[in-house]
Structures are given as structure tokens and as C-alpha cells.
Amino acid sequence: MRQTIDRFADLCETAAAWEVDEISFNPLGGRDRPAFFPSHQLEAAAFERFRNELPALRQRMAARGIAIVGDDRYLDRIASAIAGQARPIADCRPGERFLFIDIDGRIGPCHFTLDRHSVRAGPDFGRDGAAAIPAHLARNRAAQPHPACSDCQQTNLWGKFKRAPKGEPG
């Protein structure tokens, strides 16, 4: 995002020409790649500039029928990540609102916790298996909290796809 954040408004204009109706944004991941991440990590000053310009951009896009999603909690989460401040989450209610499924058929709360908190999908999994996922994941999480939960990076839990706060178009 470091190299692209200052062009987000241009990207929104391009998306508007494609007649999209909703735009989301996400800071670059990559903490698992120490040789890559430091030179690409979003910088605090650039993010604050983005955050300050976002309400006006949302208003311009809303006038064209386009929502830019991501509420204040999401913006706060990004700022915390940039500052290196942990954001724990007490209970993500795994499996109730969303699931993550990887290429190997592991189903879990997010890709950060699949090593401890997942079930494996298969041809016989079916509706009953799917209905049991939330309780299974909750038991796993309660029995053995995952270290990733002490600094939750699962952005959709922090309002990534929520509409802008009241009084702010989007």
C-alpha cells in the first residue's frame, strides 16, 4: 500500500467508470515476509493523509452511487497496525458470520488460526457438518487460544466491509 495509497482516489475514479457500486481497501499484508514487508509497509503519515481525505472522497463517490466501505474501527485497526500496537479480540464468534477455507479444505475462523482452529471439509461433510462448525471452533478457541488472536489481523472483524459512519457518505 505504500506505493499505491496516494493513487487511491484515481483508482476510485477508474472503478466508477466501470460502474462498480462498492469499493473496499486493505493495507498490504506481508508480515510473514521479513525481506519484503519493511520496504512496502504503509507509513503513518501517508495513512493519516489518506484518512483525512477519505470523507471528501466518499462524498464524491457517493454522489456517483458508489460506497467506499470501511468504518472507523477499520481505520483505527490500520493505524494500530502501522504503529505496531496490538489489537486483541476476545471472541470473534468463529464460524457464525464468516469462515475461511484454504486450498487444502481446512475451514476456520481465519487463515491466521488454521493450524489450531480448523476442521477439514470433505465430500461427506454436508449440511450437518457445516452447522456444527461454529460450536467446534468455539470449543477449540476456548480450550487453546491462538496467539494470533492477541493481535487480530482479520480485517473483516474490524469493520472492513461496514458502511461509513453516520453523517459520512458511503
Per-domain boundaries in the chain = 5-86, 100-151
Sequence-separated (6 or more) residues with CB below 8 Å from residue 93: 134, 138
Percentage of the residues of the chain whose pLDDT score is greater than 70: 89
Task: Give the residues across from 101 on adjacent strands.
Answer: 107
**Predicted confidence (pLDDT) at residue 107 exceeds the cutoff of 80:** yes
The whole-number average pLDDT for the span 65-85 is 93
**Predicted confidence (pLDDT) at residue 169 exceeds the cutoff of 50:** no
Q: What is the pLDDT of residue 49?
A: 96
Q: What is the pLDDT of residues 125-147, one digit of tens each?
A: 677 777 888 888 888 888 888 89
The whole-number average pLDDT for the span 87-96 is 83
Instruction: Quote the CA–CA distance of 44 and 81 in Å, as a whole number.
Output: 10
| SS3 at position 107 | strand
| SS3 at position 100 | strand
pLDDT band of residue 16 (cuts 50, 70, 90) is very high
pLDDT band of residue 149 (cuts 50, 70, 90) is confident
The whole-number average pLDDT for the span 24-46 is 80
- Average model confidence (pLDDT) across the chain: 85
**Predicted confidence (pLDDT) at residue 96 exceeds the cutoff of 90:** no
Task: Give the residues across from 22 on adjacent strands.
Answer: 67
**Which cell is 34 given?**
521479513
pLDDT band of residue 43 (cuts 50, 70, 90) is very high
Neighbours of 160 (CB within 10 A): 18
pTM score: 0.79
Neighbours of 124 (CB within 10 A): 7
